[in-house]
């Protein structure tokens, strides 16, 4: 039940981020290319879900687990300029979840969440 709730929060976050950015104009494809979503290593955090919305669809990344040894990274290619990321996680203690969006190896946006139920989102 807890994982379903966290998944629902992640999905709603992506929908909200996508709608808030829909009125923006500008770069006409300047966000095209290869991106990486990175969740920074934290031994106290157990990832529940990672959802990334781009090119008109939402992708749920699997094989996620406790961030004990390494950062979690997932690379994806984008052909349109709107990207929304939502990461949900839990912890037994108060801690910080750090999520980054990288392009060409450089952090272009970062989001953090503090507490025991953690939701971090990024939208460009």
Q: What is the pLDDT of residues 42-87, one digit of tens each?
A: 999 988 899 999 988 999 876 676 566 789 888 999 988 789 999 9
CATH of range 2-21+28-123; options 3.30.160, 2.40.10, 3.30.70, 2.60.40: 2.60.40
pLDDT > 70? residue 33: yes
Of 5, 111, 14, 119, the closest CA to residue 58 belongs to 14
Q: What is the pLDDT of residue 22?
A: 40
pTM of the predicted model as reported, rounded to 2 decimal places: 0.74
The residue extents of the domains of the chain are: 2-21+28-123
Structure tokens at 96: 């910080």
**Which residues, 6+ apart, have CB-to-CB distance to 5 below 8 Å?**
none
Per residue in 7-24, pLDDT (tens digit) is: 555 555 555 554 444 443
66-96: b (≥16 Cβ within 10 Å) or e? ebeeeebebeeebeebbbbbbbbbbbeeebe
Q: What is the pLDDT of residue 97?
A: 96
């Amino acid at each position: 039940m807890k994982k379903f709730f966290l998944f629902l929060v992640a999905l709603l976050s992506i929908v909200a981020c996508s709608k808030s950015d829909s009125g923006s104009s500008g770069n006409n494809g300047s966000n095209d290319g290869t991106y990486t979503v990175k969740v920074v290593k934290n031994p106290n955090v157990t990832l529940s879900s990672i959802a990334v919305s781009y090119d008109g669809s939402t992708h749920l990344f699997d094989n996620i687990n406790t961030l004990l040894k390494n950062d979690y990274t997932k690379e994806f290619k984008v052909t349109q300029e709107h990207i929304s990321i939502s990461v949900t996680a839990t912890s037994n203690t108060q801690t910080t979840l750090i999520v980054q969006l990288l392009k060409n190896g450089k952090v272009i946006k970062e989001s953090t969440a503090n507490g025991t139920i953690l939701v971090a989102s990024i939208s460009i």
